[in-house]
Amino acid sequence: MRRVKNRFSRFMDRPATVDISRYKELLKSVEWREAKIEKLDDAELTEAAARLRDADSFGEKELAELSALGREAARRALDERPYDVQLLGTMELLAGHVVQMATGEGKTLAGALAAAGYAIQGRPVHVMSVNDYLARRDAEWMGPVYELLGVTVAWVGQTSTPEERCAAYSADVTYGSVSEIGFDVLRDRLCTEPADMVGREPDVVLVDEADSVLIDEAKVPLVLAGSSDDAQTDPEVAKIVRTLRPGAHYERDEDGRNAWLTTRGAKMVEKALGGVDLYSGEHSDRLAAVNAALHAHALLERDVDYIVRDGKVHLINSSRGRIALRQRWPDGLQAAVEAKERLRPTESGEVLDSISVQGLISRYRTVCGMTGTASAVAEQLREFYELRVAVIPPNKPCVREDEADRLYDTVENKEKAIVAEIAETHAAGRPILIGTRDVAESERLAKMLAEADVQCVVLNAKNDAQEAAIVAEAGAHGAVTVSTQMAGRGTDIRLGGTATPSDHDKVAELGGLLVIGTGRYQSSRLDDQLRGRSGRQGDPGGSVMFASLADDQVVQYAPDATAGDAPDDDGRLDDPTTQRFVDHAQKVAEGVQLEIHRNTWRYTRLIEHQRKVLLEYRDELLRTDLASTELAAVTGERWESLTESHDDEVLERAARQIMLYHLDERWTEHLAFLADVRESIHLRALAKETPIDEFHRTAIPEFRKIADEIAERAAKTLEKVEITAAGADLEAEGLRRPSATWTYMVHDNPFDTDAEQALQRVRTVIKKVRGGTRR
């Protein structure tokens, strides 16, 4: 009975059903105020906004006033009067929700007004975008609106100097990419003087493309590394691995995530390396190098997983189809890929600190966000962030025509059909946007279109710098645009394009923009994001997805897929059975990603907690006299002797430098220890132990040692270090901080077994459901 009740409660309290009716009623009050505010001059409008800062509370009266002021500020600054639905979005953001608004409905302005609303309440706001370009564009675009409302705004990017960063974070509203803001948090963590820190206490974060950031990238670690020796790459190993043949010398699992040497392959490699025994402890480093080289050779594909540009390997973000700036694999694999491509190895180093995107977001008191596809992950947003979704209706009804999938037996037949559809549609002048799943597919399709005398523009990870201009013209008459993943492109597609907007009606008569998908993505949300590029603001449009039983996703997640009926002469399949297999493969892929997210967070949640505890201690060492107090307690006579012959301020600085050095060093060691435990934890599963429980049993006692060890190491250092006017001369004792640091994002850990375990769990659940045995 309790189970039934719980299911009923979940149904009645669905996360995606935030009641927006009370704010709809508030719109009447906004409209009433609008007539009065129109009569104010600019200075009076700014003054009216300033009066809201002095309000004792921020209730519905103040919310209506802010919305009316924001509407008028946007009209004056941008010549855009926000629609009622945009103001509804603003109100729901100010309520701390994730707002779902369709593409082209004006999320950027709704978000800016919400950020201004938080700032007027005296709360600093970070607006997180998916890349530097959008952060700068939106900050500058919305700048005049903020100015009229008396709110300061700035942005940070990769090229920002420390002084510019400090000024930007001092503004009421700061725009920045998720990674850049996260990296600033990590860099601040290394500061030994409070004045060197650029950030301030986090309060409100408003996340653009919220589902992409909060769900798809939540498990991605942002890493701060310090210089060490150059990457130890073995060109000889890479050369040997290039000669290995699949099936004979190595095998791959069906999911394409692991590769291993066969007995024959191992003997061949050992002989080529001079007769070594790879599996002896003496040659464990060589075995690790061989495994990394094999993974790079057998499982990572150029122009799918990475591209080579300017003599460097650049990873491709699979969820965005862009170059993943400063992302890399763990050093061993990164070096192996560079060796595979015969490139000079990049510098390597040790991890000084790391924080996951989810851990970064959890630092804020208030989290809200906006996207076009939130309801599909509403349960996850509640599970991981305790966030609810508010679905905002479009300003005008969507009239886009979404066709049923067109299914084929082989990839070749599918691509022939795609090219034929594009050629026929293009002949009439109707603009077409084609969404592909990777760079290789986009370039292959572009070549096929050229052979069919159809000229196209290709937007992929190789030319993402021009993406805004390319996307903006995708709705022009006769345009054919091929794009690798449209999520987060952030540029509106207007019918007729920007060069000849008078062509709007001509394109509309042809049916508007046609969106074609070359295959199902790993998430139905990504399919919907692609479809959503067409039919903005009530414009006509259409979409159709092509798929085949030989698509990678179907082969990987529905390996038993077979056609229900025989294909026609063109290879097309038109039966419910085939469609079910394609749908099933996508659902399994979604389930696997969710399981990986859950499993990753089970581990990182403990690490984030330990990080928070240690950094609170570090901050106290940094900003108070705690360091000298603790060193005095553990060194006794040595401290007394120092107080007799040195200035108190100098001694306090020296104590702080010593304690911070050893704290940072000990945290680095702890992260390395946890990484080793995490990589080997799957062996505990083989012993019938619960991996996460074993991880906790190992990690918690190790963390409890840290404080005492910091004090012990600091005491030993104080006994012998020379103290000068600048503080403790740590370098003379060989205690050097990294001469250089850099940041990057670990795109994926290919040696982790999360994906395999997640796939097995999802398949087990599906079998139980099908067999009627689910409990």
Q: CA-CA distance, 93 to 97, in Å (whole number)?
A: 5
Q: What is the pLDDT of residue 4?
A: 39
pLDDT at residue 103 greater than cutoff 90: no
Q: What is the pLDDT of residue 564?
A: 82
Most trustworthy range by pLDDT among 268-282, 479-493, 548-562, 678-692: 548-562
Q: CA-CA distance, 69 to 278, in Å (whole number)?
A: 71
- Among the residue ranges 435-449, 453-467, 674-688, the one predicted with the least confidence is 674-688
The closest of 156, 150, 188, 183 to 169, measured between CA atoms, is 156
Categorize the per-residue pLDDT at 445 as very low, low, confident or very high, splitting at 50, 70 and 90.
Answer: very high
Q: What is the pLDDT of residue 319?
A: 56
**Higher per-residue confidence, 348 vs 287:** 287
pLDDT at residue 233 greater than cutoff 80: no
Q: How confident is the model over 62-81, as a mean pLDDT?
A: 97
Instruction: Read off the pLDDT of residues 570-599 as tens digits, 9 standing for 90 and up.
Output: 999 999 999 999 999 999 999 988 988 888
Q: What is the pLDDT of residue 430?
A: 97
Instruction: Read off the pLDDT of residues 105-157 as tens digits, 9 standing for 90 and up.
Output: 999 999 999 999 999 999 999 999 988 888 999 999 999 999 999 999 999 99
Instruction: Read off the pLDDT of residues 7-40 as tens digits, 9 standing for 90 and up.
Output: 433 434 454 568 888 898 899 999 999 999 999 9
Categorize the per-residue pLDDT at 456 as very low, low, confident or very high, splitting at 50, 70 and 90.
Answer: very high
Categorize the per-residue pLDDT at 174 as very low, low, confident or very high, splitting at 50, 70 and 90.
Answer: very high
Q: What is the pLDDT of residue 747?
A: 57
Q: How confident is the model over 338-350, as a mean pLDDT?
A: 83
Q: CA-CA distance, 86 to 75, in Å (whole number)?
A: 13
pLDDT at residue 321 greater than cutoff 90: no
Distances (CA, A) of 689 to 28, 543, 573, 596, 703: 61, 49, 47, 19, 22
pLDDT at residue 81 greater than cutoff 80: yes
Beta bridge partners of 317: 322
Residues with Cβ < 8 Å from 281, sequence gap 6 or more? none
Q: How confident is the model over 344-350, as a mean pLDDT?
A: 78
CB 718 within 8 A of CB 638: yes
Q: CA-CA distance, 497 to 514, in Å (whole number)?
A: 14
- Among the residue ranges 51-55, 485-489, 623-627, the one predicted with the least confidence is 485-489
CB 441 within 8 A of CB 518: yes
Q: What is the pLDDT of residue 203?
A: 98
Task: Give the Cβ contact number of residue 575 at 10 Å.
Answer: 13
Categorize the per-residue pLDDT at 3 as very low, low, confident or very high, splitting at 50, 70 and 90.
Answer: very low
Return mean pLDDT, the chain. Answer: 88
Distances (CA, A) of 67 to 149, 514, 718: 11, 36, 59
Distances (CA, A) of 701 to 21, 133, 602, 610, 704: 51, 44, 18, 11, 5
Q: Are strands 432-436 and 513-517 parallel, antiparallel or unpaired?
A: parallel
Q: What is the pLDDT of residue 6?
A: 42
Q: What is the pLDDT of residue 753?
A: 53
